A and B are shown apart, each in its own frame.
Chain A
């Protein structure tokens, strides 16, 4: 047990050193600059954290996660069945693909005015922008996963007694496409995270991490802005890692031989 710990520690040592030097350089440069407006120092950010952690953790964080969850949830709920349908049936592909291709290139943030008109300054409104960012990567990866299904798997399943489309999708196409779908969700989470901050900043919301960044900027409290930036970065990293851990290490063990 102790040996394991020591090993991990040694392995993490260089990463820790790297981060420590970043903080040191940052602190030194900030002290040289000597202007909080231009570059707050590490210590100033720590003071800001000390002063605002309650709002951060109990108000802004849950609200942003709510927006994120709403959008991602709606995105998965729409994109998954749609991508599966388009990947499975040529007819559905021909019918829906043109719509997708026309709407997809519109940057998600361009929807902000309509989000406000349709939903007002609500959580749904911010969720909607997240949703627009999430839906296409999931849709496309689901589609691609279904389309690349080798014929031999479908035929094996048929010969083993899976004859209905429902069985073939449930037992063959979906599990086969799952890694691709998971990849799509991961990309979607990255894009949505950016959309979330922008949407909260530009008025689709009256709370949340992005909203707070913007209001601190108005007050020229740049050490708070930086604090929130760091929180957003760490949170994004954490969400991605957690997703990878849960999905790739547990659900997609069978991929090990195919990807490496």
Chain B
């Protein structure tokens, strides 16, 4: 019955979310009245000028920050704090340096009290999916940046999250690695039909990945425009349609920065 009721409801509902911080005694509005609903299985990219509140918005969805007003609902239930049903991949490297790759991935299951054999078995499935079987017993400092982010994604996915929240996860990677990681992420996303919220500074990345691109404006951060990308996948990075969309988004962003 409940499941039935949920079918025509969005997986994630962001309703009137505002957020202010106190900076040097002054209240600074970072997000102002953000409304967005995200369907199950959707890949939503967020783009906007630096400081417009993209990270803040994602942190609110993750439960790491509470909105000053408004609410975020996951399957109709308000989000009150962080939890494994919303996985998050951070821009900075966040693997636990004291754990091996395998133990990093098995972290979530370990917290849930899963037996050693079972959690390693499951972690190995994800390890294999990211092609790092031979690094099972390596420590994070022995991995390249791209490998670290792969492990971070696997570590979030092993918890079977309903949504995967990614804040510029490939921001620190070189262009080549980045392209590979994007393709891999898409494959994972298509296999598991995960809902993804993905912040990026790269228009190309957004167009290559997203079903929708949310363009945000700065000071205070709010949603300026939402662009649907209906191009078939896998997408060509340089097709005329892509170029057209890119021009439009760049125009949008340029006008933002001028203001």
| Shortest distance between the CB of B29 and any CB in chain A (Å) | 23
Known: A153-B96, A258-B97. A159 touches B84 (CB 8 A): yes
| Shortest distance between the CB of B258 and any CB in chain A (Å) | 34
Q: Size class of B's contact patch?
A: 20 to 34
Contact B94–A158 (Cβ < 8 Å): no
CA–CA, A158 to B112, complex, Å?
13
A97 within 8 A of B: no
- Which stretch in A29-37, A76-84, A135-143, A172-180 binds the other chain? A172-180
CA–CA, A253 to B81, complex, Å?
34
Contact A158–B82 (Cβ < 8 Å): yes
Contact A161–B159 (Cβ < 8 Å): yes
Chain B residue at smallest Cβ distance from A252: B98
CA–CA, A4 to B27, complex, Å?
68
Known: A152-B90, A159-B87. A176 touches B98 (CB 8 A): yes
Contact B139–A159 (Cβ < 8 Å): no
Bits for B77-88, please: 1 = Cβ < 8 Å to A, else 0: 000011110111
A156-B94, A159-B87, A254-B139 given; name 17 further pairs at CB < 8 Å: A152-B94, A153-B96, A155-B90, A155-B94, A158-B82, A159-B84, A159-B156, A160-B107, A160-B156, A161-B84, A171-B110, A172-B96, A175-B99, A254-B141, A256-B141, A257-B139, A257-B142
CA–CA, A153 to B93, complex, Å?
9
CA–CA, A175 to B84, complex, Å?
21
CA–CA, A196 to B94, complex, Å?
43
Enumerate 10 A-B pairs (CB-CB under 8 Å) in ascending A order: A152-B92, A157-B96, A159-B62, A159-B86, A160-B155, A161-B159, A167-B111, A176-B96, A256-B141, A258-B97
Contact A163–B96 (Cβ < 8 Å): no
Bits for B104-144, please: 1 = Cβ < 8 Å to A, else 0: 00011011100000000000000000000000000111100
CA–CA, A152 to B167, complex, Å?
12
Which residues does chain A contribute within 8 Å of B231, judged by CB atoms? none
Which residues does chain A contribute within 8 Å of B112, judged by CB atoms? 161
| Shortest distance between the CB of A252 and any CB in chain B (Å) | 8
Bits for B151-186, please: 1 = Cβ < 8 Å to A, else 0: 000011001000000000000000000000000000
Chain A residue at smallest Cβ distance from B112: A161
A144 within 8 A of B: no
A187 within 8 A of B: no
CA–CA, A159 to B88, complex, Å?
6
Which residues does chain B contribute within 8 Å of A178, judged by CB atoms? 98
A191 within 8 A of B: no
Which residues does chain B contribute within 8 Å of A256, judged by CB atoms? 139, 141
A162 within 8 A of B: yes
Contact B98–A156 (Cβ < 8 Å): no
Contact B155–A158 (Cβ < 8 Å): no
- Contact of B81 (CB < 8 Å), options: A163, A171, A172: A163
Known: A160-B107, A161-B111. A175 touches B96 (CB 8 A): yes
Which residues does chain B contribute within 8 Å of A171, judged by CB atoms? 107, 110-111
CA–CA, A172 to B97, complex, Å?
10
Contact A156–B111 (Cβ < 8 Å): no
Known: A176-B98, A253-B139. A162 touches B86 (CB 8 A): no
Chain A residue at smallest Cβ distance from B82: A158
Contact B111–A160 (Cβ < 8 Å): yes
Known: A171-B107, A175-B98. A159 touches B92 (CB 8 A): no
Which residues does chain B contribute within 8 Å of A258, judged by CB atoms? 97, 141
Chain B contacts with A in 55-97, Cβ cutoff 8 A: 62-64, 81-84, 86-88, 90, 92, 94, 96-97
- Contact of A163 (CB < 8 Å), options: B83, B94, B99, B159: B83
- Contact of B159 (CB < 8 Å), options: A160, A172, A257: A160
Which residues does chain A contribute within 8 Å of B84, judged by CB atoms? 159-161
Chain B residue at smallest Cβ distance from A159: B88
Chain A contacts with B in 173-210, Cβ cutoff 8 A: 175-176, 178
